[in-house]
Structure 1
């Protein structure tokens, strides 16, 4: 055991260890409170989240090291970072396989199909009686049940994972788009009718702009659903790459730092995708009260 590890362990055995941790926790809470109270920039929320995350990583590292927690149960952040650096090419290949292929393609297809079906239902209301029950049925299918079937139908490569993602993202987009299309005000709709505007003109000029916040909400929810669906689907059969494949394989080998590294890659990817969609929403629906009133 190294001298550094011995120093960590002796610090954990010291009677002053827990009072020091409590004191640092109070200081951490105060620093987060002061950061959140800052005004004058829309980046305050991001900065506050970053400060909170750094404190979480600090306490994670200190407690795991000082309490001598087994790396199989919970590796220290430093071990996770070192493992990610050592296996960077492997994790990049997993990222391309899962996110660059299955998630992006499945997310685009699922959201596109949900949007198209929602517009068709809105244009032809009689479709609502037949299509909505079927769509709700697809949303109730358990992921662990459909993933093996998708692998049997489409093979072990990314198309089977993309098919699972399409199934998971279709219904949220359908429901959100339908709700958004009904959000246009009655007076505005009557005004378009008085101008003898066609359905397409009313849709493009009034109803779709009113539905943008609903559509973007579905896009943001589906971004995380797509990532989760693709990773879980890879547990049931995948080639020799993919974040889900890496997590299941390395967990069987008890290589938990690399497992946590793959989890970090997935979490960061999901957070960046969500942030990108938020930025796009601010540009596309800047006029909406929900966007103008946001800090």
Structure 2
């Protein structure tokens, strides 16, 4: 019966999504399609787990995950504050702000661009599991070390995007500013920074996902008795897979909201860009 219910849910969800996708594009339709697809996956997951009698130690059903999330609301909130607010968000703000300031300095002095960007590409390729234990030893086991890991992860991708954005102006545009007797800083503020905004927001969106990943992974190498990474590692050892999945769901929602917020801010700031006008 459960397997039949899963197959029925999949067919019904597929047909409904095809019908919605064929209708005229609107904000409501664009929102409903992913929501219905997600609900279909949850229903199929629940039906298959129960239909095949899969052990909750291997894969708990969504209903068990939701029940555990309701029971452990305070734990999930404390872990969210420790990992997302203190670790990921603080490191994200510091890393991105430092990268933008450094990009302006690098753009002003060409020898820094030639010397620093190759080093940045090297550091960006370092695995987080390699640098996290070192930074935990340097900054301690609290959120400061997780913020340091996030800074390292987001700094160079943000730097590269900002530097490329600052160079994304045509010779005609720069010549026009010179005819107005505009100096370097005037040209930077009125021409080059606005032109770089699509690149900057691309870096901000990329860094928003890296920040959360970095903060969670860093907690595997040392953390106080709270945090998403800490809770996931200890709950796996205790075979509390429903709590592990509850933490994963919270992290996914936080990451999606973080990315979506950056995308909405990008639309508000870069409304003039052709890519944004096309989507309207």
TM range (shorter): over 0.9
Indicate if the aligned counterparts of 2:165 and 2:199 stay in contact, CA closer than 8 A.
yes
Number of the residue aligned with 2:186: 201
Task: State yes or no: 1:87 paired with 2:68.
Answer: no
Task: State yes or no: 1:38 paired with 2:37.
Answer: no
For the pair shown, which has the larger CA radius of gyration, 1 or 2?
Answer: 1
CA distance in 2, matches of 1:79, 1:24: 19
Task: State yes or no: 1:121 paired with 2:106.
Answer: yes
Summarize the alignment of residues 1-16 of structure 1 with structure 2, pairs less than 5 Å apart. 11=1
Number of the residue aligned with 2:84: 99
1:158–1:21 CA distance, 2 compared to 1 (3 A): closer
Runs of at least 5 residues in structure 2 that lack an aligned partner in the other structure: none
SS in 1 for 2:17: helix
Partner deviation per Cα, 1:153-197 (whole Å, 9 max, x = no partner): 000000000000000000111111111112122211110011111
Indicate if the aligned counterparts of 2:9 and 2:44 stay in contact, CA closer than 8 A.
no
CA distance in 1, matches of 2:8, 2:71: 35
**Which region of structure 1 is more displaced relative to structure 2, 257-266 or 134-143?**
134-143
Indicate if the aligned counterparts of 2:6 and 2:47 stay in contact, CA closer than 8 A.
no
Runs of at least 5 residues in structure 1 that lack an aligned partner in the other structure: 1-10
The Cα shift of 1:40 comes to: 5.0
CA distance in 2, matches of 1:64, 1:22: 13
Task: State yes or no: 1:262 paired with 2:247.
Answer: yes
Q: How many residue pairs are counted as aligned between the two chains?
A: 280
**Which region of structure 1 is more displaced relative to structure 2, 215-224 or 126-135?**
126-135
Number of the residue aligned with 2:263: 278
CA distance in 1, matches of 2:184, 2:43: 57
Task: State yes or no: 1:138 paired with 2:123.
Answer: yes
The Cα shift of 1:136 comes to: 1.8
CA RMSD of aligned residues (A): 1.3
Task: State yes or no: 1:192 paired with 2:214.
Answer: no
Partner deviation per Cα, 1:9-42 (whole Å, 9 max, x = no partner): xx25xxxx55x64454232211111222333522
CA distance in 1, matches of 2:254, 2:6: 32
CA distance in 2, matches of 1:42, 1:192: 39
Partner deviation per Cα, 1:213-255 (whole Å, 9 max, x = no partner): 1111111110010000000000000000000001001011000
The Cα shift of 1:286 comes to: 0.5
SS in 1 for 2:137: helix
CA distance in 2, matches of 1:259, 1:21: 24
Q: Which residue, 229, 233, 238 being the options, matches 1:248?
A: 233
CA distance in 2, matches of 1:239, 1:251: 17
The Cα shift of 1:86 comes to: 0.3
| TM-score, structure 2 normalization | 0.96
Q: Which residue, 222, 225, 235 being the options, matches 2:220?
A: 235
Task: State yes or no: 1:173 paired with 2:158.
Answer: yes
Number of the residue aligned with 1:77: 62
